[in-house]
Structures are given as structure tokens and as C-alpha cells.
Structure 1
Amino acid sequence: MSAEHSTALTATPSAWAPLRVVAFRSLWLALLASNIGTWMQTVGAQWLLVEQSGSDTLVAVVQTASTLPIVLFALASGALADTLDRRRLLIAVQSFLFGVGVLLTVLTLAGQMPATLLLTLTFALGAGQALTAPAWQAIIPELVPRSQLASASALGAISMNLARAVGPAVAGVLIARTGAGVVFGLNALTFAAFTLVLWRWRPPVAGTAQAPERFAAAVRAGGRYVRHSPVVRRILLRAAFFLVPGSALWALLPLVASRRLGLGSGGYGVLLGAVGVGAVAGALLLPRLRARWSVNRLLLVAGVVFAVVLAVLALARSEVAVVAALLPAGVGWVMVLSSVNAAMQLFLPNWVRARGLAVYQMIFAGAQAAGALVWGALSDAYGLVAAHLAAAVVMAAGVLTLRWWPLRDTTGLNREPASYWPEPHLELDPDDHDGPVLVTASYAVGPAREEEFVEAMEAVRRSRLRTGAVRWGLFRDGEEPSRFVEVYLVPSWDEHRRQHAGRLTGADQEAEERARALADGPPDVSHLLSAR
């Protein structure tokens, strides 16, 4: 069975099912309003710089300023979302964003908004968004059943792309009539509205069986999980291969609108709206496409479509041709990003979900930030045509890599939490922060099963490193060749206790049982505590 068929089986019959949950619907609508305001803010900032400056790079850097904070703060924000009360964190962040939005509005209306200050405040707004995304994504499983996670992810894509369709069009009209200051003010109001909805939402009280992780330890644990998870790394790679060249569309579109087509802010809003309309259509078509195509074929088709669109943007000289090209660009954009986002949501276990999604957001934003800077500089040096054609070539090259680096099929992997290790009974009473802890497990393996056992322990190695170990090794006793000793080092007793309860999944259990079945009886396990 292919990965997309597995996704289809786990999805609800209706793509709109999560909206029947009152809490999810209220927060989704508030986030939609905030996303619309964000796109209005982006258009306002870009158009203000188009009017103030003739630099292609400076206009493109608006996207860099808004996405770079996600690269810098994503993993930390994911750790905060996994360790703090997510509702209170979101309320604090939205209040901060409201304050920045008010400052941006007042200074712009007063005519005191130079390019450097505009980019600085855009960076501050991006920092707030970096703190918002992991917390919001992580509370979705608290709002809807797991069977509706795929539909909730698709609704997130619809929200973002509906905002892309509406926000730029509204911003274009307002900028033409009232100026960018009013647009910035409306964006600030959306933050206030989101804060109000969060304030009224009362999530169910969670159990308190386990204390939150310490912040620094949580950051390190999130990084270890991603580093030792081949599935997550492959998802991130596929996202980067699409986003770096795809960012050329967003970075250079205001220059295509103003310089090549001679459009004002309203016309630029129409172009961005065309991408948004295509993206909404793509989100609605995606369930049917997933039922017919493999996820890798979806990525292939979307990449080819986007490469063709970039080539058309390099050569087209009429507004009609550009709009016609931007509609399928929106479809391709949402096909790729909804697929990889859903894959992350469904694969990541609960304990590290926010941190894993934060790394995804970091790649998402970093690829766009770096790409925007590169394509803007290339356009400054060689012109819009060369920049778009270069991006199309890079996109096509990325599509070709699907042959060697496709998304991995995770069909049948059990991602539910599993607590199957026996509780250790120690004569000593270590403190949670004591460490490091050296765990050894001694296996007796017959000669006929030695090679197969060593191979099976490779999956165990990845499990140990994902869930807390910083070092792992498998050794053979020189005096007793049938005895194999697994050794792994965990930073603290608290980290090891979390391996016992909360971090392991059904897939980890299956990997360990597969290795243990090749040994003669259960292993002899010891916990060695640091003597210092």
C-alpha cells in the first residue's frame, strides 16, 4: 500500500469535519484573519519600498526579514511550546505583535518610516510569528481527534492560501486609496482579535503525571530527534528542494507587477490573489489527487508545474498571461507543502511534535529567506528574466532528485505512545538532574543469529538516540563471544525516565522486540550512575 493511500484511509470522509469542533473553528477563523493581516502587511511593506527605493534586493529582503526570525528562533519556540502552557504563550505573543503593529502604524501614518526601520519592525513581526506557529500546530491534536489531523492540516493550508488570495487584493485597494499605514493598522487589529479568541478558549485540564522538561534539555532533545530520524530528515530535504527555487515567485512578483507590467499596488494584489485562488483550489483537489497518485508523484507533478510557471514569468509580457500562470502555481505550491506538512504531523510523536514542526518551520522559512536574497541579488545583477529562468532550472533539478531521494513510505508505522520498559528498581535514589546515566543491556545470541541480530540492533540504535541517548554502542564480549552488550549514555536520570514513559512509540517497541526475538531470553539491564 502506498503512503498516499494510507493517508487517505486515516483521513475523515469530509475535509471540513474539524470545523464542526467549536474550539477549532473559532481559533481557525481567528488565525485566518491574522493570516490575511500578515499578507496585507507584506504587500504594504513591499510596496512602500517599491515607492521609496529602486533596489530589487531591498524589495526582496522584505520576505527575508519576515522569515529569517523563524530560522533563528524556531527550535527554541518549539521547546517553549512543548514545555509551557501553549494558550498563555500564544496570548503573550499575540499581545506583543499587537504592540509592534500599533507602532508600525503610527510611525507610517506620521511619515517616519525609513527602509531600515521598516525592515526592523518586519523582523520583529516575524519573530512573533516564529513563536506562534509551533504552538498553534501543537495544540491542533488537543482540538480535534487524531483521525481528523490530516483534514485539520489541509484546513491550515486553505487558511494560509485563502489569506493569500484575499489579503493582497484588499491591501492593494487600500494602499491605492489610503496608503500603507491603514493596512498596517488593520494587521494590528487581527492580532488583537486572535488574542481575544485565545483568552475565551478554555482547553481541558491536562494530566500532570510528568513535570515539564527543562528548556535547554528540551531544545537539545528536539534537535537529537530530528538528527536521528531519517524519515523527518527526508521530509525536510524535499521541502527545501521545492522552497528555495519556489521563493523566487514571491520575492520577485512585486517587481514583475511594477516594472514589467506597469501595475500599481491594486494590480500587484490581483497577481498575489491569483496565486491564492489557485492554492485554495489545490487544497480542495488534494484529497482526490492523493487517492489516485503516490505522494512522490504529487511532488513530481507540482515541481514540474512550478518550474514551467517560473519560465513563463521570465518571458510573459501581458497581465493575462501572468495571471494564467499564477493560478497553477498556487495549485503546485499547496500540493507540495500540504503533503509534507501532513507527513510531519502524522509521523511525529506527541512528546516532540512542536519541536519537530518548529524545525520544519525553520526549513520552510530559511529556504525562502535565503532564496529571496539570492534571487533578488541575481535580478539586480542580471535582470528579472535571468533570475526567473535560473530558479526554473533549480526547481527542475530538484524534481529530478526524487529518483534518488523520494519521501519514505511510513505505512504501517505505529506512532502511538508505548510504555513497555519495566520500571527500574534501584537501591540508590538519584535526583532527576543527576547524570550522565550509562545503561547497559547484555544479550545472549546464538552463532546462527549473530549477523541478523546486529542488523536488527541498528533500528534500536536510532530509537535510543531519538529518544534521549547521546551515545550508543554495541559490543561483543571477547571472553564470551555469544554475549553482546548494548551500551548507551543518557544526559540525566530525568531524560532516561522519559524514555521509560512518554517518548517511545509502538514502532520503537516493534524494533526492539524484533532484536530481542533473536536473543536467547531477555537482556540483563543495568543502570550505572555517575559517581561524581
Structure 2
Amino acid sequence: MSTGSGAASAPAPEPHDTLSALDTPARKNSMFSSLRIRNYRLFFLGQVVSNTGTWMQRIAQDWLVLTLTGSSAAVGITTALQFLPMLLFGLYGGVLVDRLRKRPTLLVTQTAMALTSLALAALTLTGQVQVWHIYVAAFALGLATVVDNPARQSFVTELVGPGQLQNAVSLNSANFQSARLVGPAVAGLLITGVGTGWAFLLNGLSFIAPLTGLLLMRSRELHTVERAPRGKGQLREGLRYVTGRPELIWPIVLVGFIGTFAFNFPVYLSAFADDVFHGGAGVYSMFNTLMAVGSVSGALLAARRGTARLRLLIVAALAFGGLEILAAASPELWMFALIMVPLGLVSMTVNVTTNTSLQMSTDPAMRGRVMALYMMVFLGGSPVGAPIVGWVTDTYGARVGFAAGGAVAVAAATVIGLILARAGGLRLSVGWHGGHPRVRFVPREHQEALAPAV
């Protein structure tokens, strides 16, 4: 069995290092330090344009399905079909990415996604579009994503090197979420003004920017990363690599629960806009835009941080679930909309912290497989969760569906936080400090030393 660059033989961290291994400060960078690198700057600028188009299509696609069917469950099915390929083939995509050169691979996947969007635009603009067309297009985009997502995630290391990885990952997230500010707003104008087909068309054309950036990159300035040779058993090797490391497997499990049940915003927000507050596409677009404001803030804060802490991941996941429950109970539109900002901030903190911690803890030869597993669990959970939460939302109402998703996030963060604390040799300490209760994790030895003699 081939092991690439010896990744399988890398020693696992000691148990007490599970939570602390990722707490060592990385090299301090300015907020935009990665943009000094020409290749990354080309990548970043291309993604600005493409991500804006992607958000336009997401909003237009969800609203078109809701218009054609009047069903939140149908929106959930569309989301499920888009992420089903990641669930079915995500790990195989990771194996391919570890073997292939990243830049040519991205040229192929980005071209395929552009052609799919242009085909959907043609059907919509000619008035021939039916729901099954949207389902097919969503599935086709999902197939391209199987390879495109892990390739883009792992390509960042080749662009900037390990010293700038934390900063570049955070800026990528800020890039995506900044586009979320513009994309939904433009989509809302297009939908109400000229129709959803133009959003699909502009998204297809937006892929010209990242394709041009990839072609203009200088190969000699890319950081060399050893590719895994072709061999048998590489999929099993990747799974063993992850399951043997608590600092990898448990964050992936956590985002699996959150991605499956709590991140189904197309279902939740479209239902709140249409059924609860009786708004239109503009209200749905507003919710997404406000979430993006918080998400950009969270990503930029992450770009300034020099650490990727698992403790921060757990706290952010707890806050995320709590805010969803609070939003579900909001009686007024303005209250619900206001909560979207901090909800976006903590959701981005969960996303960036998990992404960065996984990449920084993974051997380069295994990175494609690890990131594919992460994306498979995070995004691939939607095919399971979206129809379920869509059915719950249709049957019991948007408030119950949203609150249930938040409750799952809180429960998962609590249980996995305790598991990681135990694996890291920590225990929960409850006491008083300055007249106020204080709850924290301390090393077991420290707590035993503080315990009164019996």
C-alpha cells in the first residue's frame, strides 16, 4: 500500500495535546498579508467575481424552485441533489486530488460548472425550464464540486505556503462571504426586474475571471507539494489517518451534525421570508445579505488571529445553535433580521476554525483526502438533512424547523466538547471567582490538586 510522503507513519499527538496542539500561536500576519503573493492575488480576484455569481445563482435557484412548486421541501430536494455527489463520491474526489496537479484540475472543474450554469440560463430565458431541469443542473454542479472543492482547498497551500495558510484560508472565507453581500442583492434586483434566467447567465460568465487567473499564474512561484502516487488502499489509508487523530475526527463529526441539520439556510430562510413574514424575494435576499455582513466580520477577525483553537470551535458552535433557537422564537421581522448578523459571524468562525485547524494538522500528501472528507461530511450531509428539515418546516412550521436545527448544533457541540476535553486530559471545573460562578476546563492533575482532602 502506497503512503505518499510517509503520512501514514506520522505519529499521533499525545492525548493531552488534543485540545492544546492547535493553540500554539501561528506567525502573526497583517490582515491582508497573503495578497502580497502574486499567484494568490490572481486566485483571490478571480474568486471575488465567481463567488458573486455563485451567490446570485443560489438565491435565484432557490426562489425559482419555490415559485414553481410552492414547497419548502422542493427547495430542500434541490439542495440535497446539489450536495448528494459529495456524499456519494467525496472521498474518491479527495484521492484524485492528492494524485493530480491542482491548477489543471481546477481549469477543468471550473469550466464544467460554467457550462452547467449557462445551460440552465438558456432553459430559463427561453421559458422552457421545469423543476426537473433545476434538479439535473444542481446534481451536475455537485459532481463538479466533488473534485473542485478539495482541489481549491488544498491549492491554497501551493499558492502561499504554510506560513500564510491561516491568513489565506480566512481571506478566502471573507472573499466568499463578501460576495454574499453583493450576490443576493443583485439577484433580488434581477429576479424582480428581468427574471431568474439572467442570474444564471451572469453566473456562467463569471467563471471567466477565475479561469483567466489560473492561466496567468506563474508555475515557478507555486510551492511544491508532493503528490500521492497512484496505488491501492489510498481511500482506506485516508480514513485510518483521520480516525486515529482526535484533533481531526471530532471536528469533522461536529461540522457533520451542524451541516446536516443547522446549516440548511435555503430551506429555513426562504420559509421565514415567505410563510412567517410574508415577504418576497427581497426579504429572502435581505436575510442572506445580513448573514453575510456577520460572516465577513467573522472571516476578517479570523484573518487577524494567529491561532486555530478547538476551544473556539466548540464555543462558536454552541453560540451558533443558541442564536438559531433565539431567531426561531423572534416574533418580529426586524428582530429576526438583526440576529442574522451575529449568526453569520459565529457560523463563519465555525467554518474557518475547522478548515484551518484541519489543514494545519494534516500531512500535505494526505490533505486532499482529509479536506474531501471534511467537505463530504459538511456539505454532503445536506442530502440527508435538507429533505428532513424541509419536511419538518412544511409540517410543523418554519419556527420549529429552525429551532430543531439549533438544538442539534447545541447538543453536538456539548457532547463533542466534552469528548475532546477528556481526550485532552481536561476536566470540567465549577467554582467561584470574585463572587461569581466560573466554569472552565482544567488539566486533571490541576483539578485533583485543588480537590479537598477527604
Give your verdict on TM over 0.5: yes
Deviation at 1:151, TM superposition (A): 0.8
Deviation at 1:7, TM superposition (A): 5.0
* Contact map agreement 1:247 1:371 (CA 8 A) in 2: no
Deviations 1:136-170 (A, max 9, x none): 12221211131111111111221222122221121
Residue aligning to 2:124: 108
Q: Pick which of 191-200 and 265-274 moved more.
A: 191-200
* Contact map agreement 2:109 2:144 (CA 8 A) in 1: yes
Q: 1:53 aligns with which of 69, 82, 91?
A: 69
* Contact map agreement 1:310 1:391 (CA 8 A) in 2: yes
Residue aligning to 1:345: 359
Deviations 1:23-65 (A, max 9, x none): 1011012123222222211111110011111222101222212
1:368 paired to 2:382: yes
Change (3 A) 1:12 1:145: farther
Residue aligning to 1:157: 173
Identity %: 29
The higher relative CO (CA closer than 8 Å, separation ≥ 6) is in 2
1:259 paired to 2:275: yes
1:33 paired to 2:53: no
Q: 2:300 aligns with which of 278, 284, 289?
A: 284
Residue aligning to 1:503: none
Deviation at 1:211, TM superposition (A): 8.2
Residue aligning to 1:122: 138
* Contact map agreement 1:32 1:163 (CA 8 A) in 2: yes
Residue aligning to 1:391: 405
Q: 2:336 aligns with which of 302, 322, 332?
A: 322
Distance 1:206 1:317 in 2: 52
* Contact map agreement 2:100 2:227 (CA 8 A) in 1: no
Distance 2:291 2:264 in 1: 14
Deviation at 1:212, TM superposition (A): 5.5
Residue aligning to 2:448: none
Deviations 1:338-390 (A, max 9, x none): 11111111011011111111111101112333222211111122221221222
* Contact map agreement 1:32 1:160 (CA 8 A) in 2: yes
* Contact map agreement 2:225 2:364 (CA 8 A) in 1: no
Deviations 1:445-482 (A, max 9, x none): xxxxxxxxxxxxxxxxxxxxxxxxxxxxxxxxxxxxxx
Residue aligning to 1:238: 254
Deviation at 1:290, TM superposition (A): 7.2
1:168 paired to 2:168: no
Distance 2:223 2:413 in 1: 45
* Contact map agreement 2:225 2:365 (CA 8 A) in 1: no
* Contact map agreement 1:12 1:147 (CA 8 A) in 2: no
Residue aligning to 1:482: none
Structure 1, unmatched stretches of 5+, are 411-532
Change (3 A) 1:402 1:284: same
* Contact map agreement 2:34 2:40 (CA 8 A) in 1: yes
Deviation at 1:312, TM superposition (A): 3.1
Deviation at 1:318, TM superposition (A): 2.8
Structure 1 length-normalised TM = 0.71
SS at match of 2:207: helix
1:195 paired to 2:208: no
Distance 1:149 1:124 in 2: 30
Change (3 A) 1:5 1:166: farther
Residue aligning to 1:269: 285
More helix by percentage: 2
**Structure 1 vs Structure 2 CA RMSD:** 2.7
* Contact map agreement 1:68 1:366 (CA 8 A) in 2: yes
Residue aligning to 2:368: 354
Distance 1:310 1:120 in 2: 31
Residue aligning to 2:193: 177
Distance 2:48 2:223 in 1: 30
Residue aligning to 1:142: 158
Q: What pairs with 1:210-229 in structure 2 (closer than 5 Å)?
A: 213-214=229-230, 217-229=233-245
CA radius of gyration, larger in: 1
1:331 paired to 2:349: no
Change (3 A) 1:155 1:8: farther
* Contact map agreement 2:310 2:353 (CA 8 A) in 1: no
SS at match of 2:128: coil
Counterpart residue identity of residue 397, structure 1: A
Query: For this pair of structures, how many residues does the alignment match?
Result: 408
* Contact map agreement 1:15 1:154 (CA 8 A) in 2: no
Residue aligning to 1:379: 393
* Contact map agreement 2:79 2:386 (CA 8 A) in 1: yes
Distance 2:52 2:193 in 1: 19
Deviations 1:92-128 (A, max 9, x none): 1111112111111101101111111101111111221
Distance 1:205 1:155 in 2: 20
Residue aligning to 1:404: 418
Deviation at 1:405, TM superposition (A): 1.9
Q: Pick which of 178-187 and 265-274 moved more.
A: 265-274
* Contact map agreement 1:48 1:180 (CA 8 A) in 2: yes
Counterpart residue identity of residue 235, structure 1: P
Deviation at 1:298, TM superposition (A): 2.3
Residue aligning to 2:316: 302
Distance 1:32 1:215 in 2: 37
Distance 2:363 2:305 in 1: 27
Counterpart residue identity of residue 398, structure 1: A
